[in-house]
Amino acid sequence: MKVLLATEKPFAKVAVDDIRNVIESAGYELILLEKYTDKAQLLEAVKDVNAIIIRSDIIDKEVLDAAKELKIVVRAGAGYDNVDLEAATEHGVCVMNTPGQNSNAVAELVFGMFVYAVRNFFNGTSGTELKGKKLGIHAYGNVGRNVARIARGFEMEVYAYDAFCPKEVMEADGIKVVGSAKELYEVCPLVSLHLPATAETKGSINYDLLKDMPKGAVLVNTARKEVINEDELIKLMDERNDFKYITDIMPAAHRKFVELFPTRYFSTPKKMGAQTSEANINAGIAAAEQIVGFFKEGCEKFRVNK
């Protein structure tokens, strides 16, 4: 059995060693394609493999067409908007993710970003503290839950809105649950986004939603760039010079944001929320074990396509 680890943004070496250990202990072969720069390299590498472990790497119809022996793709991470699920189903390929394995890493980065924002990008001027402030968590999944846990250490007042998570689950974590996204943004000056990129959420963070955020607003995005309506965010930041946007996913209009809002906008050069050894190890081992379980026991837990 051949397993390809295809990561344009590589895992830490220690995680790759752990993945190799799981794969080889099962009697399988691990093939590495790291830091590739061209889709052609991926198309060549997938030709005769039975399984692929990826991160945000794009698995589209062309890749699936080229991978004649492929049975399973595991996205070592949470979001699987980079995989064409329909095409995978048509090709008889099982797609899985590894939910929760990198959530703490992303949640810790959220606080690095909030502190950076409220301390004025570390420019030496007097900023504010997080203690006692209202934090809004938009979508209460694995990362949202970890953000709530860490926020308690900062003694923040934590609010959340999630269209799918039962109110009781959030309340059991001591969260103040609001009835709509609109209400969350009206109440909280600090909001952390944790929405997946879906047909419903794309462009949903728009002018109307953001315009009533309290003074000194900070929006932190460690989710996906697609959920933001960038033109409307620019319009809003133009009108409100108290509004800051900090993101781990560089917007399409990055240059415009830098030019217009140099002291109120920051983007990491490359998504780094899940870039810790711990998250790499957790997600990498989980992905490798899920592949072994799939082939040896027919286990399809964490399957995300039909």
Give residues in contact with ligand 3PG (CB under 6 A).
9, 55-56, 77-79, 102, 271, 273-274
Least Cβ distance, residue 179 to ligand 3PG (angstroms): 27
Tally Cβ neighbours within 10 Å of residue 69. 12
Least Cβ distance, residue 4 to ligand 3PG (angstroms): 16
d(CA 26, CA 48): 19
Q: Which residues contact 280 (CB under 8 A, 6 or more apart)?
A: 11, 12, 14, 15, 102, 274
Compare residues 229 and 282 and give the one whose CB is closer to ligand 3PG.
282
The b-or-e profile of 40-64 (16+ CB within 10 A means b, else e) is eebeebbeebbbbbbbbbebeeebb
Phi, psi of 232 (to 5 degrees): -75, -30
Least Cβ distance, residue 271 to ligand 3PG (angstroms): 5
Compare residues 7 and 229 and give the one whose CB is closer to ligand 3PG.
7
Compare residues 79 and 136 and give the one whose CB is closer to ligand 3PG.
79
Listed residue (111, 70, 113) closest to 93, CA to CA = 70
Compare residues 138 and 271 and give the one whose CB is closer to ligand 3PG.
271
Overall residue count recorded for the chain in this entry: 306
The token pair at 292 is 């072994």
Compare residues 83 and 87 and give the one whose CB is closer to ligand 3PG.
83
Compare residues 133 and 271 and give the one whose CB is closer to ligand 3PG.
271
Phi, psi of 110 (to 5 degrees): -55, -45
Least Cβ distance, residue 82 to ligand 3PG (angstroms): 8
Q: Which residues contact 282 (CB under 8 A, 6 or more apart)?
A: 98, 101, 102
CB closest to ligand 3PG, residue no:
77
Least Cβ distance, residue 103 to ligand 3PG (angstroms): 8
Least Cβ distance, residue 296 to ligand 3PG (angstroms): 25
Q: Distance of alpha carbon 298 from its chain centroid, rounded?
A: 28
